[in-house]
Structure 1
């Protein structure tokens, strides 16, 4: 007797009412407008860096570059200090991110443990610096007192601890790592350190990616700390050097007149757009590789209380 092959049942299409259809169209249109509002400024900066600044100022460039012009990039990369500062920024970002994770992740895990002695009071001590700062002068004197002023490590060690990142990590561990896992590890003879490195960290890729990205972006964009604590030009990061180049070019353009002043101003504008591109492109290239962890980590680390 032949067996009857069941046919696949096609799901019935739900017909939307006029109001539901209109609302759905509105949501999609709003989402597309929001995406364009975010993407277009980035795209405009890129095309403006390759276009004539006069045409950009007159509104003639809005979707495509009028013609490719690399004068801004050429003028930037002719500065020998650009490459050194770029290397400094990469080192600060890589080492600072690793050091920041090494400090903040264990602190967040320790605060997530219910058996931590004085846990409530320690949590308060971490929350207070989020709202009250010691001020620039005391921090400067402290940095100078410990011998970090005008050194490579001043961009990494003094500002590695982030109370916000610690609290996010604490919330992640509380909501994502079950207590039964620690009990099972104890039965197998694992101690606190072995449990943390062998079981907790492998399950925490999401929060590691999120906090790593936040830390990397913060260090990459940092220029104020370098302005205050670094006088040695060979140690200064990219953002500070770009700021100095742009200010000096504007001053030179302002001190000249006639055709030369107009050309210098156009070159300064092109360098401005080019500096934005070269300073943001590396971070933008890293984000797609961490996106799948980023959304998960943010939700788990901040929604639950």
Structure 2
């Protein structure tokens, strides 16, 4: 009907906006102020089917056509509020975790059910809140940890002027990571965002054990002319007490987090578990493994560069 009369949807929209909108048609200027003139219908105060019947739209031939002849007005119940995400209408489904079920398991079950029921392509699903943060953390965690390790290797390589000994220092990290994961496994906690933050924090705490020994051993070799075996042995003896003191200080600081209770305890416990487990295992292992790895890499470096233990060039 509207097409035959030459009335477009834009014409109907303009007519409705003229009647019930806030269309400014002019401005009245006075000496002290200015007033905007807004177009309004006489029936604008009573919006409803009766008011819509009074609206007329200009046709292509210039005649006024009643809106009631172009559109059908229907009264029905509708939602007072339609939620949107971006520009699309959205419905939010919330869920709680059952006892003994981790957030990662719940996310996996939801994704599996989405595939089983066959959601149409026009319907898009996405997670929000803690579930979205969990998925985002998993997608970037490995890259974040690798970037931290590469950065530490570069800094340590510049400080010690060596390509080998930074690897000796970073060799303490696997034991810390294993200890952190074992602590989470034994306690039944999940590897969430807070636990990942704890692992990154653990990387900075644990590598100082090797730094204390390697720094002393390299200084003894370069400035005192000591053999590698004697230098690392002396470093292990003299640095044992500061290593133990700093590790125990960090360990005792993490125990209250691990044993936390009350409101927000579930957020602090993974951090404490990761730190306690990583510090315990790394402290036990690195005191013995770091000197061994140091001597192995030192011999490998001398074999590659062709230098003897005394720093002389070996003739073929």
Report the TM-score, using the length of structure 2 for normalisation.
0.28
Higher strand share: 2
- Tell me which structure has the larger Cα radius of gyration: 2
Pick 1 or 2: higher relative contact order, CA cutoff 8 A, min separation 6: 1
Higher helix share: 1
Report the TM-score, using the length of structure 1 for normalisation.
0.28
